[in-house]
Structure 1
Amino acid sequence: MTLIDTSAAGTRALDELVPSRYAVKVGDIDVLVISDGVLPITAVTMATNAAPEDLSAWLEDMYLPPEITDWPLNVAVVRSGGKTILVDSGLGTEFPDFPRAGQLAARLVAAGIDPAAVTDVVLTHLHMDHIGGLLVDGLRNRLRPDLRVHLASAEAEFWTQPDFSRTVMPAPIPDVLRRTATRFLDVYRSQLRPFETEYEVAPGVLLRRTGGHTPGHSIVRLESRGEALTFAGDAVFQPGFDNPEWQNGFEHDPEESARVRIRLLGELAASGEALVATHLPFPSVCHVAAAGNGFRMVPATWDY
């Protein structure tokens, strides 16, 4: 990935035994997918409306533990038209119960990316595992004062009085989500650049509100020189390919989330465009194929 002018002067990029970043080109657009780590989640949260025996069979088929499984966290850095755009920011380091997540600040350094070079932040939504990184020292205190933060207007409005009545989350989580979103909006309010339905933040970088997961949940579609890639945020989870109607416990409107997921996966299967999503196994770059009444994830070949 060519991000020469985003690197801190005199800083040598760190390296890691296990890769935590993956570069891909979309035409003239540079994309760097970065792992923020993993966090444990109760497996039942991934399919709250599935029959227990069906979920157990799916977990076994995927070689995943039956009770607690690791949830990957992916963010992205996008370079287009002279702008450097951070898409989501991971969990941050303020949640001691999740010590293996919140790695973004260190991994930006490992990639040789200076946070002060980031011109824009795009947020798919305001759940804590997407905004927490922007609230911790090591990232927040190194960002430029004229940083622009893009999110759907409906998302900011939702978190003034969030409704958790249709979610199925572990008991402490709603209060933590509420507090984190409130704090984020207080800290970054003057830098927010809300949009209604669509907004092009840089050449070929289009934000589109989908709703469903949260009222303002949005995806990011990149397109350049006949190539395209969609960062889907939480519109797609790992079980959602072969079981797109399974509902995730973090979805504030489960039925609409399923409709969004089916529509998006259908579009990607028809077009052949690439997909990246927050909670798919790193680096999550893949294609979507139709398979019976569902879909299947086709991992992209690593290019190195």
Structure 2
Amino acid sequence: MNQIISNTQQQQNMSLDNTPPSGRSRPEELVPSRYAVQVGEIEVLVISDGVLPLPTQMLGHNADPAARAAWLKDMFLPQDAFDWALNVVVVRSGDQTILIDAGLGLDPNLNLPRAGQLIKRLEAASIDLASVTDVVLTHMHMDHVGGLLVEGVKEQLRPDLRIHVAAAEVKFWESPDFSHVSMPPGFPDALRATAKRFTKEYQSQLRLFDEEYEVAPGVVVSRTGGHTPGHSVVRVASGGDRLMFAGDAVFAVGFEHPDWHNGFEHDPEEAARVRVRLLRELAETGGQLVATHLPFPSVGRVAVDGDDFRWVAAFWDY
């Protein structure tokens, strides 16, 4: 069984830990923003990039409004809008340090002031950008690549940095299709512009794969499609332990209503099929799940509950 790292017994021996750097005071950070997990011999750190306030319709724009309202009420969530978590993962396997997704970065004129926290939170966790050997992108939506576009970040990265992304994803953003999404105004233009800028900035460092690629020992990225044509998940495995970073394949409502279409899905029907397949895999294997928009730190497991699924959050270990 995977074991969440004990802060009191183990983390003092790890380079990825949940304790603030000595001598550093960040009184503005009154919420937890990083959480460490051990997957066999591989270190995993979940880092919060902040939150995105979005309309609740985005959770299931194909759902009966009454059913959506009932779910929100049962979850003690507001009916109009609520905060979506933004989670990023750092993985250390052998001599490689892998950043999985890069957060939002600068606010692209969409009034998202509480997102884009990754760079300062990496610093708070004493993770030097120059130590990152690889970046894996689950897809190229702006809340997954924007952190690499923050002024001054590229200059801190290694010149031999490898950025792994599905070839189908890069191809899609050459002429993206927004005909099946249901996004708030301004988002399609911002997504298109950010993906174009990212490709231009990092073209020489992109390492494209077709279906699957082993980034480091025990760290494999696999294309799923659905959310975007090149959307991918990352599976981490070591010593019998497993963890999947599912990117945007799984949302909080997706356990009980995996057939509800998220507003950011470019192929909603395929995204629903991918979601069910991944949730079944997690329920069968007992592996841990982390996803971009599940409430931080989003570490937990999946159980089967009749025809639906059930989220089983991990107990925090202090």
**TM-score over 0.5 for the pair:** yes
How far did 1:137 drift?
Answer: 2.2
How far did 1:63 drift?
Answer: 1.0
How far apart in 2 are the matches of 1:11 and 1:186?
39
How far apart in 2 are the matches of 1:14 and 1:109?
13
How far apart in 1 are the matches of 2:220 and 2:316?
25
How far apart in 2 are the matches of 1:139 and 1:230?
27
* Number of the residue aligned with 1:3: 15
How far did 1:143 drift?
Answer: 1.1
Equivalent of 2:269 in 216, 237, 255:
255
How far apart in 1 are the matches of 2:156 and 2:300?
32
* Number of the residue aligned with 2:278: 264
What does residue range 135-284 of structure 1 map to in structure 2 within 5 Å? 135-284=149-298
How far apart in 2 are the matches of 1:205 and 1:126?
20
Equivalent of 1:34 in 26, 47, 65:
47
Equivalent of 1:108 in 112, 122, 125:
122
How far did 1:289 drift?
Answer: 0.4
* Number of the residue aligned with 1:98: 112
How far did 1:146 drift?
Answer: 1.1
How far did 1:18 drift?
Answer: 2.1
* Number of the residue aligned with 1:77: 90
* Number of the residue aligned with 1:7: none
How far did 1:275 drift?
Answer: 0.1
Deviations 1:50-101 (A, max 9, x none): 0000000001111111011111000010000210000001100233510000
2:284 aligned partner, one-letter code: A
Contact 1:26 1:222 survives alignment (8 Å): yes
Q: Which stretch has the larger CA shift, 226-235 or 63-72? A: 63-72
Contact 1:13 1:112 survives alignment (8 Å): no
Q: TM-score when scaled to structure 1?
A: 0.96
Structure 1: which 5+ runs fail to align?
Answer: 5-9
Quickly say closer, same or farther: Cα 1:36–1:138, change in 2 above 3 A.
farther
How far apart in 2 are the matches of 1:151 and 1:66?
36
Whether 1:20 aligns to 2:53 is no
How far did 1:171 drift?
Answer: 2.2
1:257 aligned partner, one-letter code: A
Whether 1:88 aligns to 2:106 is no
How far did 1:140 drift?
Answer: 2.7
Contact 1:200 1:206 survives alignment (8 Å): yes
How far apart in 1 are the matches of 2:92 and 2:190?
32
How far did 1:17 drift?
Answer: 3.5
How far apart in 2 are the matches of 1:280 and 1:107?
19
Report the identity percentage: 63
How far apart in 2 are the matches of 1:117 and 1:12?
22
* Number of the residue aligned with 1:50: 63
Structure 2: which 5+ runs fail to align?
Answer: 1-10
Contact 1:14 1:112 survives alignment (8 Å): no
1:246 aligned partner, one-letter code: W
* Number of the residue aligned with 2:74: 61
How far apart in 1 are the matches of 2:23 and 2:205?
30
* Number of the residue aligned with 2:6: none
SS of residue in 1 equivalent to 2:233? strand
How far did 1:3 drift?
Answer: 2.4
Give the number of aligned pairs: 299
